[in-house]
Copies of this chain bind each other. A is one copy, B any other.
Amino acid sequence: MTNDRISIDLASSAARIGRDIETLGGADYTNSAEAISRYAYTKEFQNTTDYFIQELRAIGFEAWEDPVGNLVGRNRPKGEPAFGLGSHHDSNRNGGKWDGTLGVVTALETCRLSTELGLDLPLQLLSFIEEESSGFGQGVLGSRIITQQVTEDDLRESFRAVDDGRSFWEHAEEAGHDPARWRECIEDIAGLAGWIELHIEQGRVLQDGTLAFGIVTAIVGVNWVDLTFHGRADHAGGTPMGYRADAGLAAAEVAIELERLAIAQATPTVGTAGVGEFKPGLNNVIPGEARLGLDIRSVDASVYEAVIAEIVTFAEAAAAARDLTLDVTIQALTTATVMDAGVVGALEAAATESGHEFTVMPSGGGHDTQHVAPHVPSAMVFVPCRDGISHSPAELADPADAAVAVEVMLNAIAAYMDGAA
């Protein structure tokens, strides 16, 4: 590492980031008057891609779309080593200006600064299509295509547009892409020496802790456990306490136990009973059925697997104790992904030098970086967002926070590439 810390004009960068975000919040870039709504392969999405291509070319980067529309910008020839930065610029259908787009805008700003400050760091901007699943009901689709996590049949047949039911393939071709060459998308990550995705936190840890940013050390694995307890819907008046098979109370016990288990884990773990419903749902009828929908996440697969096993055992015991039967459905949605120690270390060092208060933290949500990380040393940076709100027009972040993070990323990348060289 070098001791020459790169210092940027934070106010100027914040202004540029804010301008980009506001521009892309305009009418040409969303198909909704009330929200940001853009997805492949709409005109608004293409306009957004074109905006980035134009801005990248303005600073001397080559910029192109891959065979399915993922955006790549480079200041080094294709295949040569570079450090990757980016996120996604699609949105959910009732979205805000910041989710995803801020990661591409700050990647662009990092590229601009590297050029303007004469650093000439080897950089690659990458923006994935369809992170939010708005177009085809398939999340993190761009990164899954790049990393070959789909089949040709998925793209030709199975993945169908939410709007008109036609295939991904047909839509991609109609938009001028060449999906038959989708396997070549792997080249998007060829030559990447490292990867950082900046994203709004979608939580309130940074805001509530008055922290400038967070460095993500792992992306959690997400698991859903759906429980349905079956008891007897007896009359609340005619059935003394000892004669009951109350499905609702077993569900209540499990919800509380899940909180206890999540808190008890030494590694960051969350457990949520987001679905809770008693049936038939009348004050004077004992719940004959109770549904409980659990979400269990941890940065360590062995931890969430243990928590799942423990809560299912607890639920079975709670059901048995109340003379209930229990249906259990477990879905492993994503696996835990640990970020690269080298990239995280470079970010931490740069963050410490910046003098800003920050934290290392897990990402509780899934991101494209989950698919990049098995191929490229990866990390993520979180910036605060108001009250943790995302996926909503009420989503709000501060370009000044983003500029601070850009400076940290610029220093981290310089140091990392210096060490890698």
A binding-site residues for B, Cβ under 8 Å: 201-205, 208, 220, 222, 224, 226, 234-241, 243, 246, 248-249, 251-253, 255-256, 259, 262-263, 268, 270-278, 281-287, 290, 293-295, 297, 363-366, 388, 390
A249 to B253 Cα, complex, angstroms: 9
Contact B277 A278 (CB under 8 A): yes
Q: How far is A290 from B255 in the complex, measured between Cα atoms in Å?
A: 13
Whole-angstrom distance between the alpha carbons of A36 and B402 in the complex? Answer: 70
Say yes or no: A237 contacts B270, CB within 8 Å.
Answer: yes
Contacts of A366 in B (CB 8 A): 237
Minimal Cβ-Cβ distance residue in B for A222: B237
Write the chain B residue with the least CB distance to A258: B249
Instruction: Select from chain B the residue with minimum beta-carbon distance to A277.
Output: B277
Q: By the criterion CB–CB under 8 Å, are A364 and B268 in contact? A: no
Q: Are B240 and A205 in contact (CB under 8 A)?
A: yes
Contacts of A276 in B (CB 8 A): 248, 251-252, 276-278, 281, 287, 290
Report Cα–Cα, A246/B283, bound state, in Å: 22
Contact, CB under 8 Å: B278 / A284: no
Whether B202 pairs with A237 at a CB distance below 8 angstroms is: yes
Whether A273 contacts B294 in the complex (CB less than 8 A), given A226-B283, A237-B222, comes out as: no
A237 and B284 in contact (CB under 8 A), knowing A243-B205, A251-B276? no
Please give, as numbers and ranges, the residues of chain B lying within 8 Å of A234 by CB-CB distance.
203-204, 388
Least CB separation from A364: chain B residue = B237
Report yes or no: B259 in contact with A241, Cβ–Cβ below 8 A. Answer: yes
Contacts of A236 in B (CB 8 A): 270, 272, 274, 295, 297, 364
Residues of B within 8 A of A271 (CB): 241
Choose from B220, B253, B286, B290 the contact partner of A237 (Cβ within 8 Å): B220
9 closest cross-chain pairs (CB), A and B: A203-B238, A237-B364, A252-B252, A276-B278, A236-B272, A283-B293, A202-B238, A237-B365, A252-B255
Give the complex CA separation of A208 and B263 in angstroms.
Answer: 42
CA of A224 to CA of B278, assembled, Å = 17
Q: How far is the CB of A335 from chain B (nearest CB, A)?
A: 14
A237-B364, A272-B286, A273-B287 are contacts. A256–B262 as well, Cβ < 8 Å? Answer: no
Measured in the bound complex, the distance between the Cα atoms of B378 and A312 in whole Å is: 51
* C-alpha spacing A282/B226, complex, angstroms: 11
Partner of A388, one of B202, B235, B268, B272: B235
Which of A246, A251, A275 counts the most B-chain CB atoms under 10 A from its CB?
A: A275
Residue of B nearest to A294 (CB): B283
Nearest-CB residue, chain B, relative to A361: B240
Contact A201 B364 (CB under 8 A): no
Residues of B within 8 A of A238 (CB): 201-205, 363-365, 388, 390
Beta-carbon contact of B277 and A281 below 8 Å? yes
| New A-B contacts (5) at CB < 8 Å, excluding given A237-B270, A240-B268 | A201-B238, A235-B390, A238-B364, A252-B253, A282-B293
Cβ of B248 and Cβ of A255 under 8 Å apart? Answer: yes
Q: Which residue of B lies closest to A274 (CB)?
A: B283
A258 CB, nearest partner CB in chain B, Å: 9
Question: Closest Cβ of chain B: how far from A287's Cβ, in Å?
Answer: 6
